[in-house]
Homo-oligomer: A and B are copies of this chain.
Amino acid sequence: MRALMLNCTLKPSPAVSNTQALADVVVKSLKEKGVDTEVVRVVDRHVPPGVDTDLGDGDEWPRIHELLLDSDILIIATPTWLGQPSSVAKLVLERMDAMISETKDDGTYAAYNKVAGVVVTGNEDGAHHVIAEVAGALVDIGFTIPGQAWTYWNMGPGPGPSYTETDHRHEWSEKTGRTMAANLFAAATALRANPLPPAS
């Protein structure tokens, strides 16, 4: 089984990504279950905005798109800005928009029988909405969102520390992240054995 995690931080490497710090808990948990898990920090690649799979001119999305098609599990990991998903997360979702009209050999849409989850960090409130916004777009494209396939961290009220700057209740976010990994794995297993049918 394969998983792809798209880290949608705004900060190119080698800057510390708080989002990756929490996401690593989910990655570790998936690997322990034998899931071959790859992480792509999207902002390090050349991915222009658009709604086609290949925009040419050095576009690196086609390679990510291939990884996506080869994966059973997708995780969008994103920081929270203005209470919303990052622009990089939205960019990634837009590029996936093309998958709505792509079909697989069995006649199902490209995202059918793939499961997806969301990891959110922030230095301010917003995680519930970020999860709903990303999950809503993924369900639109055809991904299945297992119950509690998310984890998040922020504290407040108002602007507060970043995830790596404090240990405050990391244990809650980490435990929730392990549940997320277990639910993604179980739901992907379930859909592999009993898949959604081709749209008639």
Seen from chain A, the residues whose Cβ lies within 8 Å of a Cβ on chain B are 10-11, 43, 49-51, 81-88, 90-91, 93-94, 97, 109, 111-114, 124-129, 131-133, 135-137, 139-150, 152-158, 169, 172-173, 176, 178-179, 182-183, 186-187, 189-191, 193-197, 199-200
Contacts and interface: CB of A to CB of B under 8 A. Distances in A.
Interface of A is mostly: mixed
Contacts of A136: 82-83, 128-129, 131-133, 135-136
B158 A128 contact: no
Contacts of A194: 186, 189-190, 193-194
Contact of A157 (B144, B145, B169, B190): B169
User: How many identical subunits does the complex contain?
Assistant: 4
A78 to B, nearest CB: 11
Given A129-B128, A190-B195, A90 B83 contact: no
Q: Most chain-B Cβ atoms within 10 A of its Cβ — which of A90, A97, A124, A153?
A: A90
A156 to B, nearest CB: 6
